[in-house]
Amino acid sequence: MAVAQFVVNGLLVGALFASIAVGFALIWGVVEIINLAHGEMVMLGGYVSYWTVRSVAGEGAVSPVVALASVPVALVVLFVVGYGLQRFVVSRVTGTDLFLTLLVTFGLSIVIQQLALQAWSADPRTVAVQFTPQSFDVGGVFVPKTKLLAFVGAIVLTVLLWAFLRYTRRGRAIRSVAQNPDAAALLGIDVEHTRALTFGLSSAIAGGTGAFIGMILFVQPQMGLIYTLKSFVIVVFGGIGSVPGALLGGLLLGSVEELTAGLVSSQWTLAVSFGLLIVLLVVRPKGLFGRGVEGEP
Amino acid sequence: MTRYAAGVLEFADAHGWKIIAVLAVVGALPPLFGLEGGFYMTVATLTLMFGVLALSWDLIGGQTGYPSFGQMGFFGLGAYTTAILVKDQAVAFPVAFLVAGVLATLAAGVVGLIVLRLRGGYFAIATLGILLVAQQVSRNLEVTGGSSGKILLDVPPATTFYYVLLGLLVAEVAVVYYLTGTRFGYVLNAIRDDEGKATSMGVNTTYYKTAAWMLAALFTGLAGGSWSLFNTFVDPNTAYNLSWNVEMIAMALLGGTGTVAGPVLGAFGLHLTIVFIQSVSLDVTLPLLGPTTINFAGWQLVLLGLVVIVTVVSYPQGFVGELRERASAMEYYRHAGGAAGQETSHDETASPDGGERT
């Protein structure tokens, strides 16, 4: 029974990893940048949600409605942040050496993280959501309602992004830039704007997920790096540009981490998930689904 | 500025070995004139150490084109090796120091088998991941003292480490400077510029890049091995210091990747700036707040991030690279539009052993 509980916990939190990774993969595929500041977008989203809830409802546990209402705020703020970052900073190195783009996003992650540390201190913060009773009991397996809420929220965000990319005109523009920026420009698509839009969307979904993470775990200025790395693991697993692959990867990573934490020790989760990454990179560098980046192994 | 750039580079290219020798002698002087401990000794020693780290990073990141985001992994391995050997096994420091270097090199050989098959972003993140795993492992093991680390009390005096790190830096500068003029160095640069082409020319690139990777790990591990005793304390967060991991990249980048002098100059400049910022506090009278003390401690990482971003966006070639660019622009001007070096209307510019190796 314990194993079933671990798997359920893993699936619940894995959906959040997946929706973060989808944003990470989107930038990678369209702007051709490995955004090392992606985890910081999660962190910022968490803080936006936290401060929104704090200023509306004060300290203490809040109703699910208030908590959910803070998610759109995080989405909008992080969209603006992401759009601005691409437009004014990252666009200066897009299309140059991959190493330079890595460094710029790494620099951004440090600056954002350290400014957050100066502004909000290193204390972890949580948006406590009030549910009575706290969890469902499904045949001996406990499903905390807050985690279920976050799970559903993350899935909704992922599906919305997927539908946007697939069915809207803007979404098609984004996909065309991913395929061939020059041809897209010839057809009258504003490539710079589209890339910034992509960065904005990706940051928004990361920020929205960050808001949910603030409800089920905590937000802290230095939390970002771990989420960036998890996104990388998931994208390598699922393949770049594959939303179902990322979703499956996220759920799997969540389960593996929870099983490691439950059966071995929570101190070894990172080592196990990274061990898996190394194995994957060597055995199946293009991911189990979808394509790799051209020129990369 | 521009006018002197060419002169400086010419001089450096022509007298490389002499410059290294003179600087080594000058570097050995301070402890002889009374600097034996305290704040300035620490700053000087750490500055030398960062020179070693930045140059090691540049050997694999700048010369070979494999941007490692996990060099601190080898540093931490070296640091823990000497800490454990000296404290728990009562091994003499020189022996422990050598073991640290050997272990780091061997670890690099094993890790390299896996990660050197990856390129670009995959390589960068895989190395970052290995660093984080190493940090977590040291946090969980008994022998490393877990997350509380190890306190080392019975250690050699501070001047020992000053000389050890000075020796390391001089040795590394000499090795890298020598290599840049050999086939080995050229192959590394060829791997950076186009690994596929280098392979198709019949070069065994795996051998060369693994050798460079292990050499970089050797110096990083030795630096770590001397640091832990110098610091008298080692724990997972300081041995696998994530901000130093960024610092060494920023230093190499700032000074100029793929050069010998660049990373060392970058290390000296940036570390001294960071120390200055950490220690300075300004007493100013602000319009609204009245007399205030502005303290910059804690802001050094913000500065570091900004330095990285601005350097990458505006000066991706770094200080030495920029200098070289200006010098060759001057050359172009002097030859009235002809390519630099085509005519030799002025004194011979090439160094005796040929080429730009600064």
User: Smallest Cβ distance to A100: which of B304, B306, B316?
Assistant: B316
User: For the residues B281-293, what does the mean pLDDT come to?
Assistant: 70
Tell whether the model's pLDDT for residue A33 goes beyond 60.
yes
The segment with the largest mean pLDDT, out of B72-76, B156-160, B349-353, is B72-76
Which of B78, B288, B260 is closest to B181 using CA atoms? B260
CB-CB contact of B357 with B177 (8 Å): yes
- Which range (A131-135, B171-175, B349-353) has the least confidence? B349-353
Across residues B236-258, what is the average pLDDT? 87
- Bond before B316 cis per omega within 30 degrees: no
Q: Which of A253, A281, A282 to mutate to test the interface with B (most CBs of B within 10 A)?
A: A281
* pLDDT (0 to 100) of residue B279: 78
Q: Is B16 among the domain residues? A: no
Please report the pLDDT score of residue A168 as a whole number: 93
pLDDT in tens, A51-68: 999 998 887 788 888 889
pLDDT score at A4: 87
Q: What is the DSSP string of A221-272?
A: GGGHHHHHHHHHHHHHHH-BT-HHHHHHHHHHHHHHHHHHHHHT-GGGHHHH
| Range of lowest pLDDT (A27-31, A80-84, A179-183, A284-288) | A284-288
B136 contacts on A by Cβ (under 8 Å):
267-268, 270-271
Q: Which of A226-240, B102-116, B136-150, B325-339 has the highest mean pLDDT?
A: B102-116
CATH classification at residue B136: 1.10.3470
Residue B109 domain-assigned?
yes
| pLDDT-derived band at B298, boundaries 50, 70, 90 | confident
Looking at residue A13, what is its pLDDT? 92
Q: What is the pLDDT of residues B27-63, one digit of tens each?
A: 877 777 777 667 888 899 999 999 999 999 999 998 9
The answer to ipTM > 0.90 is no
- A283 interface with B at CB cutoff 8 Å: no
* Residue A88 scores a pLDDT above 80: yes
Average model confidence (pLDDT) across chain A: 87
- pLDDT more than 70, % of chain B: 86
3-state secondary structure of A140: coil
Between residues A286 and A200, the one the model is more confident about? A200
Within 8 A of B60 by CB-CB distance, chain A residues are none
Residues of chain B contacting residue A265, judged by C-beta atoms under 8 Å apart: 140
Write down the pTM of the prediction: 0.84
pLDDT one-digit tens code per residue, B200-225 = 988 898 899 999 999 999 999 999 99
Q: What is the mean pLDDT of chain B?
A: 83
pLDDT-wise least confident of B253-267, B287-301, B306-320? B287-301
Domain assignment present for residue B151? The answer is: yes
Identify whether B237 is part of a domain. yes
- The four Cα atoms B66, B208, B167, B55 give a dihedral, to 10 degrees, of -20
> Given this model, what pLDDT does residue B330 score?
67
At residue B319, does pLDDT exceed 50?
yes
Question: B51 is in which domain, residue-wise?
Answer: 35-316
Q: Which of B117, B125, B311 to mutate to test the interface with A (most CBs of A within 10 A)?
A: B125
Whole-angstrom distance, CA of residue B9 vs CA of residue B88? 49
Confirm whether B39 is domain-assigned: yes
Residue A277: list chain B partners with CB under 8 A: 126, 129
Q: B58-78 pLDDT, tens per residue?
A: 999 989 989 898 999 999 999
What are residue A142's phi and psi, to 5 degrees? -90, 130
B131, part of any domain: yes
User: What's the N-to-C CA distance of chain A in angstroms?
Assistant: 41
**Model confidence at B14: pLDDT above 80:** no
Task: Flag whether pLDDT at B343 surpasses 70.
Answer: no
**Rounded average pLDDT over A98-117:** 89
Is B233 domain-assigned?
Answer: yes
Using a CB-CB cut-off of 8 Å, the residues of chain B touching A108 are 305, 309
> Do the strands B150-151 and B233-234 form a parallel or antiparallel pair, or are they unpaired?
antiparallel
- B144, B74, B141: which is closest to B109 by C-alpha? B74
Give the tens place of pLDDT for each residue, A126-160: 988 888 777 888 777 888 888 999 999 999 999 99
Residue A245 has pLDDT above 90, yes or no: no
Of B119, B140, B249, the CB nearest to A297: B119
A234 touches chain B (CB under 8 A): no
